[in-house]
Structure 1
Amino acid sequence: MKIVIIGAGEVGFHIASHLSRENKEVVIVDDNAEAIRRVSDHIDVQTIIGRGGSPAILEQAGVREAEIMLAVTNSDETNLVACMVTHILSPSTKKLARIRGGDYDQYHEAFCRNPPNIDTVINPEMEVVKTIEHLMSVPGATDVGEFAGGRVKFIGVRLDETTPIVGARLSDLPGRIPGHRPLIFCIIRNERLIVPSGKDRLTAGDLIYFITEDKDLEASLRIFDKHAEPIRRVLIIGGGRIALRLALRLEEKSVHTKIIEQRSDRCSILAEKLNRSVVLCGDGSDQALLREENIQDSDVVITLTDDEETNILASLLAKQLGARKTITKISKFSYFPLMHTIGIDQVVDPRLSAINTILQHIRRGKVLSSVSIRGEDAEIMEAVALETTDIVGKPLMDITFPKGVLITTILRGEEVIIPTGQSVVAPNDRIIIFARREAIPKVEKILSVKLEYF
């Protein structure tokens, strides 16, 4: 697979890094020589210095031979032009574009039907708002995602010393938990990702990931001593575009919302665009202001400024002053391992939200959605089991899967199956697969061709 990426910023850099580790042919284009130098120094991909909307540069990048052209510069207009020129040069090349401006929201479908003929429009701000809503819906979780239109959820929770099942082997859980049991498919311990077997014990401090039907969510959370609680009051620190989108969504749900923003001109814009939210002009890390606004009554404090150090400080301060829960916007992967150590569990990253959306459209086979786990260590993806693959028609125990791969769920019509070794995947079943990063290229082959090499 050949992929041309326009834009060597954070999203372009990390997508290129992700794909190069999977031995895909990647060409990355940017008119910033410093950004291109950074890519060349760290990633084994072809680089070109030039404007991504230039026909000559796109020709040089080999867009005619590319299966995918991904436009992720910081300029919406450049991304639109790159898609339009690519369509002229190579109509068969699939075009994905990151479009962030709110002015374009209502035109996304038009961009797909008409020139620039984009196949997929990605708005990371919309995606991160969805992520925040998922996290708010399960207050005890550090990570939340969903598949099959929300019927199946995967949840990440941190185990405390008081969690009843701490110390138990996974093979012991059937005797400890009668009836419904969620499938634990991943354990993060001391920042090391483990695909568990029945012999593995659960220990305090583990971040465990499990999968469950939505209807069983509350029962599953109780097993881990976590509880879903309604969200009635939200305080947002930072009044940028993500904050505005989130506040509009919360207004639709009749959630009492306050926004603290330092820039007076931005406060005026927020007050004009919001109907019921309270907009406060001030410093979100000011203890006196937070106390004055009764932060201890907030169900969730969400820090969304453009400065991640400010977000971290404000979240820690909010917890110290009595907020039940915080969600912190972070954009540096290197910070992620530190968050639990300093007392922050729920983190959102707009870049990672964009990467997740992009990956599902790049994966081979009929991949419907894909979500990264712990930055880029692993993925969990939903796909259609094609009749032409060896994954169908035989018990899972008889299939030799690559190391670090686990089928967590089979969706057959309205039926949700948590599989055992005897389970059989039927043609056109939807399956949810967890895979470590290094196993993903083999998973793509599983989803698209016969497994003759196993």
Structure 2
Amino acid sequence: MRVIVCGAGQVGSTIARHLASEGIDVTVVDLSPEQARRADESYDVRGMVGHAAHPEVLERAGAQDADMLIAVTRSDEVNMVACQVAYSLFNVRRRIARVRHHGYLEPIWQGLYASDQLPIDVIISPEVEVANGIVRRLKTPGAFDTVALADGRVHLLGVHCNTGGCSLVGRRMKELSTSGGSGIVVGVIVRNGHAFVPRAEDQVQQGDDVYVITETARVDQVMAYLGHEEQVARRIVIVGGGNVGLNLATRIARHAPYVSLKLVEHSRERAEYISRELRDSAVVIQGDALDKEVLLEANVQSADTIIAVTNDDETNIFASVLAKREGCTRAITLVNKTSYEHVLPALGIDAVVSPSAITISTILRHVRHRSVSALYTLREDFGEVIQATAQEGSRLVKGTLREAGMPEGMLIGAIVRNGEVIIPTSSTRVHPGDSIIAVVAYRALRKAEAILAGPSVETGSQG
């Protein structure tokens, strides 16, 4: 498989690294010689300097032989034109573009992206995806991460085991089915910044973060078992009125009208615009979110949740910390820099939202093996949760899970068969056509794909 990635920023370079590690032939195009050189030297990819929408640049990048083009430059327009050129001149089969400006995403313009107009197969909108991710976290307030899989039948929950009420602490994985933990699978343990897929003898320790997989109908029960019975927020303060903040406020006002909503925006002009858009559904305050008086005007001291989503990581972090010091119960914070990820829990930040991680998850979902229908990145440096269809003739369906020979770093968390959710044990058998929810560390990805694939199917990791 051959892929051209347009844009060598954080998202583009991370996607290129992931794809190259799976044996995919990757060329990265960027206007910046430094960015292109860094990609070329840091990963097993070809870095090339040039304008991603220019035909001669794409020709030099090998577009005539490419299977896919992924356009994630900083410019929506460059991304869209790159897809058009790739289709019209080089017949690249699959085209993915990141598009940020909401004006391009209005439903009334959706015909723009038809194959006979502007041929983009997949449009990724980070702002919309981030707002969706935050709404998911609001629905399960005790979790720092939550993802619905298998048409909503299965949930992945990320939870801090930092309370005395977490019944997982001290339990070996093999004991869960007999210690009140039946119905859940611990897919990942994060300890002192290091993530790993646990084995049968591993224990959860106080202070660990865990990712557990369970049936959606049991989420409230599982959260209580993990020591988290927080109530859904009814008083919310949003910091930042950009595309994410406005999208989020609009969704909350529409779907949870009982919420008392306040939004803080630094720009007077933008604040006035947001006030007109939201009308009576939110109180908009113009001011600096790092000013204590502004936060108090927004009543953070009595708020259930502050959601900081400005374009500046430091503003988001410090606004969250200040709000919690004033008495706000919970902080959800948008952070772009992955280098901040490990220190944020120590600052009292409850949930971190990474636009780049969300974008990468969405894009990789469209690159993976054809049997993979959903994918979510777990910590950019660790691995993924995937939803895949069990293939006839694959190793996974030839015996029990114990006999499947799964590599270290892979774990089956749930099976969905004819609409029924099965939380598996080592003696569970998988049937062809079952939906499999699996945690896979990146180091185990190739072996995992080999187990999932049928005998005559090429995996996406083969060139």
Per the shorter chain, which TM-score range? over 0.9
Task: Look up the match of 2:328.
Answer: 323
Alignment of 1:117-128 (within 5 A): 117-128=119-130
Separation in structure 2 between the aligned mates of residue 419 and residue 174 of structure 1, nearest angstrom: 10
2:460 is matched with which residue? none
CA pair 225-161 structure 1, distance change in 2 beyond 3 A:
closer
Structure 2 equivalent of residue 269 of structure 1? 273
- 1:140 correspondence with 2:142: yes
1:163 counterpart residue number: 165
In 1, Cα distance between equivalents of 2:12 and 2:199: 36
Stretch moving more, 60-69 or 309-318? 60-69
Q: Distance in 2 between matches of 1:17 and 1:342?
A: 31
Deviation at residue 393 of structure 1 after TM alignment:
4.2
Give the whole-Å Cα distance in 2 for the aligned partners of 1:161 and 1:117: 51
Q: Secondary structure at 1:150's aligned position in 2?
A: coil
Aligned to 1:77: 77
Counterpart in 2 of 1:333?
338
Q: Distance in 2 between matches of 1:410 and 1:228?
A: 29
Distance 1:433 1:112, change over 3 A: farther
TM-score (norm 1): 0.95
SS in 2 for 1:362: coil
Checking the alignment, whether the CA contact within 8 Å between 1:367 and 1:382 is kept in structure 2 is: yes
Q: Can you list the C-alpha shifts for 1:36-65, whole angstroms capped at 9, x where unaligned?
A: 133234223101111111121111111222
Query: Within the alignment, does 1:176 sit opposite 2:179 as a pair?
Result: yes
Runs of 4+ residues over 4 Å off in structure 1: none
Structure with more relative contact order (C-alpha pairs < 8 Å, separation 6 or more): 2
- Report the secondary structure of 2:395's partner residue: coil
User: SS at the partner of 1:269?
Assistant: helix
1:111 alignment counterpart: 113
**1:418 alignment counterpart:** 423
What is the CA-CA distance between 1:388 and the residue it aligns to?
A: 4.3
2:352 equivalent to 1:347 = yes
What is aligned with 2:461? Answer: none
Alpha-carbon offset, residue 297 of structure 1: 2.1
In 1, distance between residues paired with 2:203 and 2:455?
36
**What is the TM-score with the length of structure 2 in the denominator?**
0.93
Q: Deviations over 1:260-293 (max 9, x none)?
A: 1111111122122222221110111111222233
- Structure 1 residue 112 displacement after superposition: 4.0
Q: CA deviation at 1:78?
A: 0.9
Structure 1's 331 and 239: CA in aligned 2 closer, same or farther, altered over 3 A?
same
Correspondence for 1:247:
249
Q: Distance in 1 between matches of 2:176 and 2:324?
A: 34
Deviation at 1:397, TM superposition (A): 1.7
1:225 aligns with 2:227: yes
Give the conservation status (yes or no) of the 8 Å contact 1:22–1:438.
no
Q: Report how far residue 109 of structure 1 moved.
A: 5.6
- Aligned mate of 2:365, from 360, 369, 377: 360
Letter in 1 for 2:274: L
> What one-letter code is carried by the residue in structure 2 that aligns with 1:131?
G
| SS of 1:337 mapped into structure 2 | coil
Query: Following the alignment from structure 1 to structure 2, what is the Cα–Cα distance between the partners of residues 115 and 47?
Result: 30
Is the counterpart of residue 298 in structure 1 residue 303 in structure 2?
yes
Q: What are the superposed Cα offsets for residues 282-330 of structure 1, whole Å, 9 maximum, x if unpaired? A: 1111112222332122121001111111111110111111111110110
- Aligned 8 A contact 1:18 1:376 in 2: no
Cα separation, partners in 2 of 1:340 and 1:83, compared to 1, 3 Å: same
**Contact 1:112-1:120 within 8 A present in 2 as well:** no
Give 1:161 shift.
Answer: 5.0
Q: Partners in 2 of 1:85 and 1:451 — Cα distance?
A: 34
Question: Would you say the 8 A contact 2:83–2:119 is kept in 1?
Answer: yes
Q: Structure 1, residues 151-174: CA drift from partner, whole Å, max 9, x if none? A: 211001111251353222223333
Overall identity of the aligned pairs, in %: 36
Instruction: Note the alpha carbon deviations across 1:217-242, whole angstroms, 9 max, x for none.
Output: 01001111101422222101111111
Matched residue, 2:10: 10
What's the CA shift string for 1:410-437, capped at 9, x where partnerless? 1112101111222222222111111111
- Matched residue, 2:68: 68
Q: Give me the whole-angstrom Cα distance separating, in 2, the residues matched to 1:181 and 1:352.
A: 28
How far residue 2 of structure 1 moved from its aligned partner, in angstroms, is 1.4
Distance change in 2, residues 1:164/1:284 (3 Å): closer
- Counterpart of 1:419, as a letter, is P
User: 1:109, 1:446 → 2: CA distance?
Assistant: 40
Paired letter, 1:58: L
Q: Which amino acid is 2:431 matched to? A: A
SS in 1 for 2:381: coil
Tell me which residue corresponds to 1:150.
152
State the partner residue of 2:396.
Answer: 391
After TM superposition, give the deviation of residue 81 of structure 1 in Å. Answer: 0.8
Summarize deviations over 1:148-202 as a string: whole Å, max 9, x none.
1222110011112513532222233333317x43111111111111211221122
Check 1:134–1:109 CA distance in 2 against 1; reply closer, same or farther (3 A cut): farther
Instruction: Measure the CA separation in 2 of the matches of 1:249 and 1:154.
Output: 22
382-391 or 280-289: which moved more? Answer: 382-391
Indicate conservation of the 8 Å contact 2:330/2:349, yes or no.
no
Shift in Å at residue 90 of structure 1? 3.5
Aligned to 1:21: 21
SS of residue in 1 equivalent to 2:437 = strand
SS for the counterpart of 2:222 is helix
Bigger Cα displacement from structure 2, 322-331 vs 400-409: 400-409
Contact 2:37 2:48 in 1 (8 A): no
**1:101 paired residue number:** 101
Q: 1:109 to 1:216 in 2, by over 3 A?
A: farther
Within 1, Cα distance between the matches of 2:265 and 2:401?
53
Mapped pair 1:427 → 2:429: no
- 1: CA distance, partners of 2:153 / 2:132: 16
CA distance in 1, matches of 2:193, 2:46: 32
- Contact 2:392 2:454 (C-alpha < 8 Å) held by counterparts: no
